Chain A
């Protein structure tokens, strides 16, 4: 009897654990994963660190060829592969998405988990018709009632049940070797993964190292105890889906694998583990306080008495800016006491900087901070660096300010996409995207809907693009359910905290976004709370944060009363966001928001101008509206690039595939083809319109006969005299005069009437005369060459040249009436005018 009971209990336990895989457990998000930290590299000297060339830092890239095994079902995955001979396995390039390398199926789905249970195939075309046919549905139901019943009877059964994955779960297993150099034997060694989708187990030299999920942020493991000098082996097993996939229901290609870079990094046992740089500008946006808060880690065996940390600041030309480095005793950092009340002072290292050049998207001046850790003898143990920008962002008066100037966000939503590589983008792709954004007058990007590779932010820092950095949280398929489930709190927080920790030093990032389309609830509010305290220098954005139930004029979302009020705020949004964010509000709704007496925060369209197919109409009207209300701070077009995948059809012809083309189910067809630029990063007709509407100088007619036009500067920081202003005068398509307006001074945000000095000219009968004004780069910038056109306007001159038309000559035209046509005959021609429309 006793035996039987034990057996029953064992069976229960087995059943319980069988349903509770680590990758299907919301509370199990990592094992042995190091905390998030700012991107930086460990260099041997301050000079090396100043160069910023990570190739000379203590790192070894593990990009390249790995051994690879793929199974469609997690049940079939090799269990002891990290101990076995894998020489017979396939080769795969890392980083990559395995779906783009011939394993498994890429899936494009907008919203709704790809691993949700599916309706039967015959129901998928028209689920409601199928429902009416196969269920006992009363006649004459309203559409609303019909959907309600469909949901209750059918659809709710297809809602997936977190954290369980209800679909076959493909698994990829990766193995490679790498060599640890001799001079790393006294170092701490870290294995770094830039991004894997969606969960992985990591093994080094046949030992378990750790586990990670969260597909768009680095995972780092301390492998010091696992490695030896010489050859080592790393093995990784990646699961396509995990409980974390419930937080990754974004509208894009769903792909898997080690899709970002992999490297091994070394740092001394005492090292600058992390640092946070703030630049506090004074009330006049003139002088700045440079504040640095480093984190030093120390191996227990090292005595750091008399060690120092030095900070140097280098100007854009790499000249030292400080007379003396800012120096701090290392033990004062390591043994910093945290008070019982209040908090530690942020600026562990601090210095006033007089009149630094400020960073903005228009003028992205970067300085370099170099931190050098020195031992008691003054020898450099380690140096690290970061590009920083002096700038201040504020949300006040219902507006967004950068360095004291109210700015608009000419933004776009960007997904990682490459037409050959899928989600695994190269550094070249990232740089090209930022260059193209600059060239087409975008000044802002939202990293929809997850943190990008940190190189992308380097590019935004360098070329000048404001970034709304978004956490990798979207629970679209379950709407706002998970943010209200406390067992998911840690997973939410982890994704936001790690993003902010990694990206905190980038001047381009002006706001943190808590994710996308996941409702609102305490898990979001908690994440916002952490961010607000950790980084009070940037605004918090989250579009899902809508409705303020404690407000007297609140009406429940979705109620009749709510609907009757139209699509405005309810009546404003939760306290924990700093901007009122909306998606796809049309012109009327946007204007209603702008005029709402309840809204005092700036209003942004985090998605608008859905650029699917032949679209982007009335973009001018959007911006006319944005410019007429100070509290409309701009928006982000949906979206940047057509997510077409270059594919070859059965005849060998290339085309761009979209959802469903790979037999992927479920799919949302061509709903991933919404780019302002084409899949191959070439401009589309829409791209030019976006550029024109967002151009930094608006030129309007005043008195064209006299050549008078008004120029309105939409620059926030630049004077027009920094650019070349030229004009041409054309007779139809032939240029007859041209000139340059030298030294035309116009302050930011100012306007002036300018005379275009064209000379009198003789006119031709029935010709048209066109004045075209062009504003171009005077000299090369890092993002475009001299001559690049930023703004332009064409005007038709009001010159009356109309002369009588040449008479139409006709003779000998005859008509012949036949059954179907009247046949017209004339000199050398015949026509038939039909009696029917065919």
Chain B
């Protein structure tokens, strides 16, 4: 878990980068296939993980962390470079007896000052694995709020699939996330708990940190009904695999840069 991230005296994150397997349940999740009853283990799983091994290797500039909960194992590897760049590698192995998660990924909190948002991925409107035909891949720019979709009853929202990179900045300073393979990302001005508990958008309170979700995969939203097991995403949009690996890079941005060039250089 990256708990502290300072670059040029500036804090890059407000809350740590940690695994995240959940989402503020949608109506289909909660009323439909009852995620909270069927697979509740995943909501609090990050907090239940124990660090079983941690190694720092100065010669490669990397730290590896092994975490576990019962038979589940998660390996995180961080490789550091100049300018505060860090590559994060995530390898998850889920035991057969455990149910499927609804997300495989990590999230973190960054300063709410980083209101300028841009990304290269599917947009401009939110999209999910089972609902992303309409969205084109492009570079989209706006504010965090521009990309936050308010459901009448707040719930999981504002995800983008096929994201090559995501940048959050304030006067060109900030943080950029680049996927080794395309990511799914979302940025919430509110905490996940607040989104889940609020009954109306008026009950959403701007948090000190923006929640940045950097997901490898997320279950689809489903689209059959909202009251039965049929509300569950169809099989190909569920996370039924047992092994998940992905990798992304965090790049602190301190002055105007060609973000697309950073992306091309990385590849």
Q: Which residues of A approach B to under 8 Å, CB–CB?
A: 584, 586-587, 608-622, 642, 644, 649, 651, 653-658, 661, 670-671, 673-674, 678-679, 684-686, 688-689, 691-693, 730, 732-733, 764-768, 770, 772, 792, 794, 796, 802-803, 805-806, 808-811, 813-815, 817, 820-824, 826-838
| A-chain residues with CB within 8 Å of residue B223 when the two chains form the complex | 609-611, 615-619, 622
B188 an interface residue at 8 Å Cβ cutoff? no
A-B contact pairs, 9 of them (CB 8 A): A587-B234, A610-B224, A613-B226, A617-B237, A732-B120, A772-B136, A808-B87, A824-B80, A833-B1
Q: Are B153 and A673 in contact (CB under 8 A)?
A: yes
Q: Is B5 an interface residue (CB 8 A)?
A: yes
Asked whether, in the complex, the Cβ of A689 is within 8 Å of the Cβ of B237, the reply is no
Once A655-B202, A670-B27, A837-B46 are accepted as A-B contacts, the answer to whether A618 and B222 lie under 8 Å apart by CB is yes
- Expressed in whole angstroms, the minimum distance between the Cβ of B117 and any Cβ of chain A is 15
Interface residues as binary, B75-91 with A (CB distance below 8 Å gives 1, 0 otherwise): 00011111111110000
- Given A616-B221, A811-B82, are A688 and B125 neighbors across the interface (CB < 8 Å)? yes
Q: Which of B13-34 contact A (CB under 8 A)?
A: 16, 18-19, 26-28, 31
Which residue of A661, A764, A810, A823 has the most chain B CB atoms within 10 A of its CB atom? A810
Pairs of residues from A and B, 8 with the lowest C-beta to C-beta distance, nearest first:
A832-B4, A829-B84, A617-B130, A613-B27, A692-B134, A733-B139, A617-B223, A766-B264
Q: Do A834 and B16 contact each other (CB < 8 Å), given the known contacts A617-B130, A679-B152?
A: yes
Let me know if A688 and B63 touch, CB within 8 A: no
B109 CB → nearest A CB, Å: 12
Q: Is B181 an interface residue (CB 8 A)?
A: no
- Decide if B225 touches A584 in the complex (CB within 8 Å): yes
Q: Cα distance A765–B61 when bound, in Å?
A: 28
Supposing A613-B226, A806-B266, A828-B7 touch, asked if A685 and B126 sit within 8 A by C-beta, the answer is yes
Of A610, A766, A833, chain B has the most CB atoms within 10 Å of the CB of A833
How many angstroms from the CA of A830 to the CA of B11 in the assembled complex?
9
Chain A residues lying within 8 Å of B5, measured Cβ to Cβ, are 829, 831-832
A644-B152, A651-B202, A837-B49 known; A688-B135 Cβ under 8 A: yes
> Which of A584, A644, A802, A832 is B224 in contact with, Cβ under 8 Å?
A584
Q: B207 in the interface, Cβ–Cβ < 8 Å?
A: no
Cβ–Cβ < 8 Å partners of B233 in chain A:
617-618
> Closest A-chain residue to B74, C-beta based?
A837
Residue from the set A670, A831, A832 with the largest chain B CB neighbour count within 10 Å: A831
- State A646–B260 Cα separation when bound (angstroms): 42
What A residues does B224 contact at CB under 8 A?
584, 586-587, 608-610, 618
Q: What is the CA–CA distance of A244 and B71 in the complex, to the nearest angstrom? A: 61
Known: A612-B27, A765-B264, A834-B3. A658 touches B221 (CB 8 A): no
The chain B residue sitting closest to A820, CB to CB, is B3
User: Does B82 contact A826, Cβ atoms closer than 8 Å?
Assistant: yes
Q: Mark contacts of B219-236 with chain A using CB atoms, 8 A cut-off: 1 yes-contact digit, 0 otherwise.
A: 011111110001101100
Does B246 sit within 8 A of A, measured CB to CB?
A: no
* Chain B positions near chain A (C-beta within 8 angstroms): 1-8, 16, 18-19, 26-28, 31, 46-47, 49, 51, 54, 56, 58, 61, 63, 65, 67, 78-87, 120, 125-128, 130-139, 149, 151-153, 155-157, 200-202, 220-226, 230-231, 233-234, 237, 252, 260, 263-267
- Tell me which of B3, B81, B221 contacts A614 (CB under 8 A): B221
B63 and A824 contact, CB distance less than 8 A: yes
Interface of A is mostly: loop
Return B153 CB to nearest CB of chain A, in Å. 4
Which of A692, A766, A830 contacts B4 (CB under 8 A)? A830
B27–A815 CB distance below 8 A: no
Assuming A610-B223, A829-B83, what are 5 further A-B pairs, CB within 8 angstroms? A614-B221, A674-B226, A688-B125, A805-B266, A831-B80
Q: A803–B152 contact, CB under 8 A?
A: no
Contact of A829 among B8, B54, B221 (CB under 8 A): B8
Known interface pairs A802-B267, A837-B1. Does A655 touch B221 (Cβ–Cβ under 8 Å)?
A: no
Set of chain B residues within 8 Å of A609, measured between Cβ atoms: 223-224
Q: Once the chains bind, are A618 and B264 in contact (CB under 8 Å)?
A: no
Task: Name the residue on B nearest A823 (C-beta).
Answer: B4
Q: Say whether, besides A693-B133, A837-B47, A614 and B157 are in contact (CB < 8 Å).
A: yes
Instruction: List residues of chain B with CB within 8 A of the CB of A656.
Output: 152, 200
Cβ-neighbour of B80 out of A794, A810, A835 (below 8 A): A810
Q: How far is the CB of B176 from chain A (nearest CB, A)?
A: 15
Query: Is the beta-carbon distance between A689 and B131 smaller than 8 angstroms?
Result: yes
Contact assessment for B4 and A828 in the assembled complex, using a CB-CB cutoff below 8 Å:
no
Q: How far is the CB of B3 from the nearest CB of chain A, in Å?
A: 4
The CA of A765 and the CA of B3, in the complex, are separated in Å by 35
Shortest Cβ gap from B186 to chain A (Å):
12
Asked if A813 meets B61 with Cβ closer than 8 Å, knowing A615-B226, A732-B139, the reply is yes
> Provided the pairs A584-B224, A810-B81, A822-B63 are in contact, do residues A833 and B3 lie with their beta carbons within 8 angstroms?
yes
| A821–chain B nearest beta-carbon distance, Å | 6
The residue on A at minimum CB distance from B26 is: A614
Pair A831/B6 contact, Cβ less than 8 Å: yes
A-chain residues with CB within 8 Å of residue B80 when the two chains form the complex: 810, 813, 824, 826, 831
Q: Given the complex of chains A and B, what is the CA–CA distance between A821 and B1 in angstroms?
A: 9
**Known contacts being A618-B224, A803-B267, A829-B6, is A837 close to B19, with CB within 8 Å?**
yes
Whether A612 and B226, one on each chain, are in contact in the complex, defined by CB atoms closer than 8 angstroms, is: yes
A838 pairs with B1, CB closer than 8 A: yes
Contacting residues, chain B, for A837 (C-beta < 8 A)? 1, 18-19, 46-47, 49, 51, 67
Q: Is the CB of B230 within 8 A of A584?
A: yes
| A794 in complex: contacting residue of B84, B137, B151, B264, CB < 8 Å | B137
| Bound Cα distance from A403 to B8, whole angstroms | 72
Complex Cα distance, B127 from A689, in Å, reads: 9
Given A609-B223, A612-B28, A833-B63: A806 in contact with B84 (beta carbons within 8 A): no
Residues of B within 8 A of A616 (CB): 131, 221, 223
Residues of A within 8 A of B201 (CB): 655
The residue among B1, B127, B152, B233 with the most chain A CB atoms within 10 A of its own CB is B152
Choose one: B61, B134, B222, B237; the contact of A691 (CB below 8 Å). Answer: B134
Are the C-beta atoms of B84 and A689 separated by less than 8 Å? no
Given contacts A615-B223, A831-B2, contact A688 B134 (CB under 8 A): yes
* Residue among A614, A654, A679, A821 with max Cβ neighbours from chain B (10 Å): A614
* Chain B residue nearest to A637 in the complex (CB): B223
Which residues does chain A contribute within 8 Å of B49, judged by CB atoms?
837
Are B131 and A835 within 8 A (Cβ)?
A: no
Smallest beta-carbon distance A534→chain B, Å: 35
Asked if A617 and B220 sit within 8 Å, CB to CB, the answer is yes
Interchain CB contact under 8 A, B220 and A838: no
Q: Are B81 and A808 in contact (CB under 8 A)?
A: yes
Could you tell me the distance in whole angstroms from the C-beta of A738 to the nearest C-beta in chain B?
15
Return chain B residues, CB-CB under 8 Å to A614.
Answer: 26-28, 128, 151, 155-157, 221
One of A618, A808, A823 near B85 (C-beta < 8 A)? A808
Shortest Cβ distance from A800 into chain B, in angstroms? 12
**CB distance A794 to B152 under 8 Å?**
no
Q: Are B225 and A610 in contact (CB under 8 A)?
A: yes
Q: In the assembly, what is the distance between CA of A657 and CA of B202, in Å?
A: 11
- Give CA–CA (A811, B222) in the complex, Å: 48
Report chain B residues within 8 Å CB of A621. 130, 234
Q: A586-B230, A811-B82 are in contact. Are A617 and B221 (CB under 8 A)?
A: yes
Q: In the complex, what residues of B have CB within 8 A of residue A679's CB?
A: 152
Given contacts A615-B27, A615-B28, A732-B120, contact A685 B264 (CB under 8 A): no
- Does the CB pair A685–B125 fall under 8 Å? yes
In angstroms, Cα B252 to Cα A671, docked, is 44
**Are A649 and B202 touching (Cβ within 8 A)?**
yes
Complex partner residue of A618 from B18, B84, B237, CB under 8 angstroms:
B237
Across the interface, which residues of B come within 8 angstroms of A767, CB to CB? Answer: 264
Please state if B260 and A615 are interface contacts (CB–CB under 8 Å).
no
Q: Is the CB of B202 within 8 A of A653?
A: yes
Chain B's closest residue to A831 (CB) is: B5
- Are B131 and A685 within 8 A (Cβ)? yes
User: B138, A655: Cβ atoms under 8 Å?
Assistant: no
Least CB separation from A796: chain B residue: B137
